Structure formats: structure tokens, C-alpha cells
Amino acid sequence: MGLSRRIYHQLVDIEDIIGIIEKFIKLRPLGIESVEISCSVGRVLAEDVKAKISIPSFTRSLMDGYAVISDDVAKAYEDNPIRLKLAGKVLAGEVPSITLKRGECIEIATGAPLPFPANAVVPVEYTRRKGNIVEVYRRVAPGENVDYIASDLVQDQIIAWKDDIITPSMIGAIASAGVKKVKVYRKPIVAILSIGNELTPLGQDLKYGMIYESNSSMIMGLLSSIGADVRYMGIVRDNYGEIKEAINKALSCSDMVITIGGTSAGLEDLTYRVLSEYKPGIIIHGIKTKPGRPTAISIAKDKIIIALPGFPISCLTAAQLIVVPIIRKLLGYKISRSRVITAELVMKVPGALGLNRLVPTIVSNIDDKLRAYPLLIHSGAIGKLSQLDGYIIVPPTKEGLKDGIDVDVHLYEGASLAEAVFIGSHCPLAEQLLLSLKKKHRIKIVYLGSLAGIRLVSLNIADFAGSHLLDSSGEYNVPFIKRYRCRDIVVIRGYVREQGFIFRQEHSSVINDFEDIIKNKLRFVNRNRGSGTRLIVDNLLKELAYKYNKSLEEIRNELIGYNYETTTHDGVALIISKKIADVGVGLRFVAEKYGLSFKPIGNEVYDFIINKKSLKKMAVEEFLKLIKDELPALIRTFPGYSLHKNSGEVIYEC
């Protein structure tokens, strides 16, 4: 048995997908249903709607006042009232039984029918009533304050057109013209199933090595929000027979099937085999985009099966790009309504030769300028997923996009820009402050690590950041700001977090320092290079090497797992609690969170980096206030956290 790399022989351009599908199946609405007009917003009309009546259906008054023959009051002025005989009264909903004679008037309410041959209405405020006589103090022109029969729209006139998307104001017009129900296209039924042995249903306990089956919820949310009728078919194991049976079942109860996962070039790849057995079978096998490339489309008789990749960002991107336009066509939409905004690209983005590279993007608005930050993350990333605003496209013909140019950002469904953006290292205490801020302001929070926070403040993507970067000088954060020549930045001292060895209770007696760890051959989990914690580890190992007159290299080799890294405090604790390794270095807070033992080594500092341009934003102003007012009380509830002597002070400015 050997590994084989899947080769995508004929990757398809995004623009060609619809055309290829339509060689087999015409993408048009699947049927028509009749709905009450009051429940029809957002549906697409399957018919031209004609007025059943002309509007107004009778000549009516637009005012409360007196219906007159305008010639009778042609000489009425404030100092020369004309006296008319009151001949009757007509209210809205009544039929005037009287024909007006010259010299007469009729009391009339707004919306009441004008009696023949009255041709104008004198508003009540220009009249005085004396018994049966009305004095008119102003002339009115023919037609004044009158709404003529059929002047607004005429019977059989089309008031809403086939393929129009119904809006509330359109409903007003349709209903006014006497139409109670309209024919709209029926919603396509989309069956969704997920494939993979590693998938666990939401709500169940998660075993090691398994992941939650989340893509179906995301895709169901997306497709139902654009008007599809979605049906969840559950999780299917990586087994030929089960996949085949599940897809057949899905085909039998839907207009279109979406499978998620099972399409990457993995060790066991069965979905393709099943899809290729339908007639005419797989018509698209890989598209020219990254992410989203391993998307496949198969046709089973007259139904489409779309196989989406399983990594969440790939899955969402491919769904936005391929499934949404198909469903819009099935819903009867003529025009794709993907929202695009223009923003300045703050860093260069590499392309993907021969592929449309769709790069997930965050958009900021600082100093009234929109800027786009392309997130070069892998498609399995989840934590950033909900913070993405949209994506930019690097076309297949380009090696990449330069920074400083204007780019189109295609917004995801439901995306709306934040007031202010926080980027930096995740810290539960900082998160608590952000939580308070979120109550009043719409903040985007993206945890990309300390260094990204500093960089993105200086690129005007982030309004503020949180960072705990230790320099070899022993100083936190400021040396990095100087090194990267950042401008317009204020650094506010945050607080101190206690670091130490983290291990399971069973090793309490044998861990005091690295000497113990090496001696007892305990498995170590290290932090990533560049992290402050890694610097602490390396400093301790240097001391040990010095003590035994060994090279640092020798000491590192003696420590089992020195090269086994992870990137977060929680990662260290989790690996230890799951017994994959025995000991690591991290925060006391995290050790307690996972019920592990802790032996202190030292402290690290967490600071807030503020963009000077953002100081005028209410959200940032409020955040500074929170550091001052709420941090001191809050910190007491966080084990392993303490105030710094300079907490809340500006420690650097440039």
C-alpha cells in the first residue's frame, strides 16, 4: 500500500462553474407556490402582478374641508369670502348621494369620494361655518386637494414584475391594488450531510483525536439565511456503503445534496468514488481557488451533489462562492447580491499559481479610512472564523497583490464592520475587560498573538492590542515597538502574570527544577520560539548548562521533548492533562483551570498597546477608563495575577 497524491487534472475556473452545471441541468426555480402577500418579503415573484383595480378607484378628497366647484370660489380672498350653501356631508367609506349645484358645497373628509361635478376641495382652515352657510376665504384651482380616479395606477397595470424580489413597499402597492396572494418560486430543499470518522455530533463528549461536526450547522445557517429549505441528514462514517446509502437517501428527499468533508486527498477517500458512480457523475473535480480547491460537483440524474471540503474556512468559502449562487438561481434571483467594499490593502499577499486565492480578510476603519488585513491562516482555523469580514481574491494570473493598493473585499453574509478592533494575545483577564467594553460598543476581537497585535496597531488595522513580548534585555513590549519603528503608539502598562512549572499531581514530589525533570526522564512540552515563556525556559537551561559545564545544545538534547512545541498556555496544560507529556512551563491561572499542580518560576508582564489615531474613538476612550476604574478590583479574582507598580500608566509613547 502506498500513499498517492490526488492530481486535480482539470481544475475549473470559478466563472465557469455555473456554465458547466447548466450543460446538464438548467439552474432555474423548481416550482411555484402561492403565498399570502403579508408573508412574502424576500421571496421572488413567479408572475407579473397586475392591479385588480385602478387607484384611486374613485376621485377622492386629500383634505378635510368642503368640496366645491372651483369656478364658484374663483374670487374668494381673505378679505372677500364667498358664501356657499352647505348641501350635505360625505365621510370616508360613504358614497355621495348628492349632485352638487352651482353655489353649493359639501362637507368632506380626507379619503371620501368627491361628488359630481365638484372639482376641488377647500381645506377647513380656510373656511368659516355659519349654520347652513360656509364662508370660503381662499380660492382653489381645479383639482386642488383632489386625488383623481385612476391617476395613480390603472387596472391591469403591472405593479410588480416576475422575478422581482418582494419588499415591504411593494407589498403595500400589491395589496392596495386588491391582490391577496401572489405566486412565488418555491424554496429549493437542500439536504446536508457530513462525512468523516473524526466527527462527533454536537452535544456529545469529545474523545481525543475527534472533532465536533460543526460545518453542517454553519452551512445550514448560511443557506437558510438566503432562503433555502435545509434538511440535516447527519454524520456518515468513512465507509463506502454508508456514504452511498446516505447520499441516496438525501437525493430522495431533496432538490440538491451537499456533502461536507471526505474530499481532501486523504488516506481514505471514498466520497469521490461514490459521486463518480451516479449518472452522469462527477462533472467538476477541483476548482481554481485556494482555499476551496477540493470541491467536487456530481450530477445524479437531475439533481446536483456538491462535495465541500471539511476545513471550516474552505467549507464556508466554497459555499459562498459556489453553493450560494446556485441556490440564488434556484430561488429565481436574477442578480447576485454579494456585497463588496473597497479598502486599502495593508500588506502584500502572495497568490497561488493558477488558482484564485481567496484570502480571509479583516476590515478596519481608522481615521475614516477602510483598510484590509489579509489573514494568512490555514483553512482549519476556527477562532478567527467568526471575526472575518470577508475575503479578497488574488487572481490566478498574479503572483500576488502589493500592499498599499485598493482591493475589493467580498463581504460574508451578515458581516458588518466593527467600531474598533482589538488584536493581540489572548488573556482571560484582558478578555474580561473587553467583555465590559463589548456591552456598550461593537468591538472586533481577534487573538493573533502579541507580535501581530503590535504590528497591526502600527498598520492601522488594530485600534488597540494586548501583548506580553519579553525581549532578551528583560524588558517587555517596548523594545519590539522600537525595533519595528512603529509610530503613533501609546503603551499602557497592564499587569503581571505568574509563570511556573505545570505538571500532574503525581509528579509533585519530583519536580523542583529542570534538573529534576531531566533526571527523572519526564516528557517535556515546550512553548514556541519567540514566546516569552520559551525565553524563560532557555534562560533556565543556560544556567543548568553553566552549572554542569555543558553546552546548551547538550542540555537541550537531554530534555525529552525540548523540540515538542505548542503555542499557548492552554496547549501546555492540555497536553499535560491528557498525559501526552508530563511537564511544561505556563501560567498559574491555566494550571488551576485544568486542575494541575504549579511551581512558580517568575512573572511576566501583559501591556496594552494603543493606536494614537484611535484615541478619539469612544470605544478606545472607554477601554482606557476600564483599565483605570475596573482593573484593580477585577484582578483580585484572578489567581496568579497581580498589579504592576506602574499599572495603568503610560510607559512609552512615540
Q: Work out which of 27, 109, 510, 545 binds its own copies, going by CB under 8 A.
A: 109
Residues 21-40 that bind its own copies (CB under 8 A): 36-40
- In the block, cell 459555499 appears at 319
Give 276 or 563: the residue with its C-beta nearer to its own copies.
563
**CA nearest neighbour of 263 among 328, 193, 358, 208:** 193
Q: Work out which of 20, 27, 264, 612 binds its own copies, going by CB under 8 A.
A: 264
User: Residue 653 CB, nearest distance to its own copies (Å)?
Assistant: 31
Which grid cell is 55? 387607484
Phi-psi region of 532 (alpha: psi -120 to 50; beta: other; left: phi over 0): alpha
Contacting range for its own copies; rule: CB under 8 A; set: 252-260, 546-554, 575-583, 617-625: 575-583
Which grid cell is 9? 487534472
Size of the site for its own copies (CB under 8 A): 163
User: Residue 147 CB, nearest distance to its own copies (Å)?
Assistant: 6
* Partner residues linked to 394 by β-bridges: 357
Give 180 or 628: the residue with its C-beta nearer to its own copies.
180
- At 155 the three-state DSSP class reads coil
User: Residue 494 CB, nearest distance to its own copies (Å)?
Assistant: 18
**Residue 266 makes contact with its own copies by CB under 8 A:** yes
Contacting range for its own copies; rule: CB under 8 A; set: 57-65, 270-278, 616-624, 626-634: 57-65
136 membership: H or E segment, kind and range: strand 133-136
Residues 193-252 that bind its own copies (CB under 8 A): 196-199, 202-203, 206-222, 224-225, 230, 232, 238
Say if residues 585 and 437 touch (Cβ distance below 8 Å): no
Instruction: Say which residues have a Cβ less than 8 Å from residue 285's Cβ, sequence separation at least 6.
Output: 8, 9, 10, 272, 296
User: Residue 186 CB, nearest distance to its own copies (Å)?
Assistant: 19
Cα–Cα–Cα angle for 9, 360, 431, rounded to 5 degrees = 145
Contacting range for its own copies; rule: CB under 8 A; set: 119-127, 498-506, 544-552, 599-607: 119-127
Distance CA 493, CA 477 (A): 10
User: Residue 386 CB, nearest distance to its own copies (Å)?
Assistant: 4
243 membership: H or E segment, kind and range: helix 240-252
Give 108 or 601: the residue with its C-beta nearer to its own copies.
108
Q: Work out which of 13, 98, 144, 176 binds its own copies, going by CB under 8 A.
A: 176
Residues 611-640 that bind its own copies (CB under 8 A): none
Say if residues 382 and 357 touch (Cβ distance below 8 Å): no
Give 89 or 249: the residue with its C-beta nearer to its own copies.
89
Q: Work out which of 79, 132, 302, 335 binds its own copies, going by CB under 8 A.
A: 335
263 membership: H or E segment, kind and range: none
User: Residue 453 CB, nearest distance to its own copies (Å)?
Assistant: 16
User: Residue 587 CB, nearest distance to its own copies (Å)?
Assistant: 11
**CA nearest neighbour of 137 among 71, 64, 75:** 75
Q: Work out which of 10, 414, 553, 616 binds its own copies, going by CB under 8 A.
A: 414
Say if residues 86 and 107 touch (Cβ distance below 8 Å): yes
Cα–Cα distances (Å) from 393 to 349, 398, 594, in that order, read: 10, 10, 42
Q: Work out which of 22, 33, 245, 268 binds its own copies, going by CB under 8 A.
A: 268
Beta strands in 203-339 (DSSP E): 211-212, 229-236, 256-260, 280-285, 289-290, 296-300, 303-308
Residues 138-157 that bind its own copies (CB under 8 A): 142-143, 147-157
Say if residues 614 and 464 touch (Cβ distance below 8 Å): yes
**Residue 583 makes contact with its own copies by CB under 8 A:** no
How distant is the alpha carbon of residue 16 from its chain centre? Answer: 27
For 482-526, the DSSP string reads HHTT--SEEEEEEEEEEEEEEE-GGGTTT-SSHHHHHHTTPPEEE
Give the per-residue contact string, 69-98, with its own copies (x = CB under 8 A; - = no).
xxx-----------------x-xxxxxx--
Contacting range for its own copies; rule: CB under 8 A; set: 309-317, 368-376, 462-470, 597-605: 309-317
- In the block, cell 493573533 appears at 448
Contacting range for its own copies; rule: CB under 8 A; set: 333-341, 457-465, 511-519, 610-618: 333-341
User: Residue 485 CB, nearest distance to its own copies (Å)?
Assistant: 27
Give 383 or 404: the residue with its C-beta nearer to its own copies.
383
Residues 421-460 that bind its own copies (CB under 8 A): 426, 428, 431, 435, 438-440, 442, 445, 447
Give 266 or 479: the residue with its C-beta nearer to its own copies.
266
Q: Work out which of 21, 44, 106, 177 binds its own copies, going by CB under 8 A.
A: 177
User: Residue 260 CB, nearest distance to its own copies (Å)?
Assistant: 11
Give 212 or 652: the residue with its C-beta nearer to its own copies.
212
Q: C-alpha dihedral over 547, 548, 549, 550, to 10 degrees? A: -120
User: Residue 649 CB, nearest distance to its own copies (Å)?
Assistant: 28
Say if residues 604 and 477 touch (Cβ distance below 8 Å): no
Q: Work out which of 259, 271, 499, 568 binds its own copies, going by CB under 8 A.
A: 568
Phi-psi region of 148 (alpha: psi -120 to 50; beta: other; left: phi over 0): beta
**Residue 111 makes contact with its own copies by CB under 8 A:** yes
- In the block, cell 367609506 appears at 93
Give 148 or 548: the residue with its C-beta nearer to its own copies.
148
User: Residue 69 CB, nearest distance to its own copies (Å)?
Assistant: 7
Say what angle helices 428-438 and 618-629 make with each other, to 10 degrees: 130
Give 219 or 274: the residue with its C-beta nearer to its own copies.
219
**Residue 575 makes contact with its own copies by CB under 8 A:** yes
Q: Work out which of 30, 189, 580, 626 binds its own copies, going by CB under 8 A.
A: 580
